[in-house]
Structure 1
């Protein structure tokens, strides 16, 4: 299974708690003004990589707490990222997924697209919502604008409402 990738950071402490491998996927329909990664917008850009190549990077570093899926828009490549997320979780690592979609829109999409549903369910945390330049706040942990939420996915799915992660700083 292949992904179109804009880049990978093998060790990051700014894209979620703990030491993380970050996959920046290529392609984004949101095109938020002031986006930190506008080079990821073109769905034909970046490089094709095998999911196994990325998983090998994760396996090489026993210090990783988990993997962060960012972009671009990860849910535009939900099928391949669900394969990666399943394997990352099998290694005992967690998965954080950033998205320009709101939680409510993701649930709507998941109702129509099994790959989106699977990636939602395999994500431990989702940082949702578009970046809004007018709401930019560099003091917020792990997100760029105050409209974005750090959602505890299992807790939210279990109770049927958004549950904010304790480290999300809302």
Structure 2
């Protein structure tokens, strides 16, 4: 399946716990001031990749703990990101995703493709990057407004449950 990418980074240690394969999707509607991935904003930028090649990269690295969907905005490519997430889960890997959208807005819009993707995601870091709330002390996010959400628990309880390290 085709996916528009900015890039793929193997052996990331900053996009979630453990060693990760990070998929940087291309295209972002948020265009947050101060974003450190400016090159991912243009929906026509980057290149067209293949989700099967990404899944192959997952199987080739026995040290991976998980895959992270970043951007750009991965929720704008829900079918391709879901394909990657399902493949990662079959390999026993956890799935993290970063989005500039808010959890509440995602659920309220109820896009079935995005909701299906959420079912595969273990942890979602939500909210736009806000340069005036930037902090280098935060774990796995860039600004204090962003939340690290335990997706499985949040969907089950129908309330936001924050992820805790070493669960």
Q: Name the TM-score, length of structure 1 as normaliser.
A: 0.96
Which residue matches 2:55? 55
Shift of 1:108: 1.8
* Distance (whole Å) between structure 1 residues aligned to residue 159 and residue 82 of structure 2: 23
Alignment of 1:40-119 (within 5 A): 40-109=40-109, 111=110, 113-119=111-117
Shift of 1:114: 1.5
Shift of 1:140: 0.1
Which residue matches 1:144? 142
Kindly indicate whether residue 158 of structure 2 is the aligned counterpart of residue 160 of structure 1: yes
Shift of 1:167: 1.8
* Distance (whole Å) between structure 1 residues aligned to residue 121 and residue 36 of structure 2: 22
Give a deviation string over 1:15-50, Cα, whole Å, max 9, x none. Answer: 100000000000000000000101000001111111
Q: Would you identify which runs of 4 or more consecutive aligned residues in structure 1 move more than 3 Å? A: none
**SS at 1:83 equivalent:** helix
Shift of 1:115: 1.1
Q: Any unmatched runs of 5+ in structure 2? A: none
CA RMSD of aligned residues (A): 1.0
**SS at 2:142 equivalent:** coil
Which residue matches 2:127? 129
* Distance (whole Å) between structure 1 residues aligned to residue 54 and residue 131 of structure 2: 31
* Distance (whole Å) between structure 2 residues aligned to residue 36 and residue 5 of structure 1: 16
Shift of 1:120: 1.1
Shift of 1:138: 0.8
Alignment of 1:11-22 (within 5 A): 11-22=11-22
Which residue matches 2:8? 8
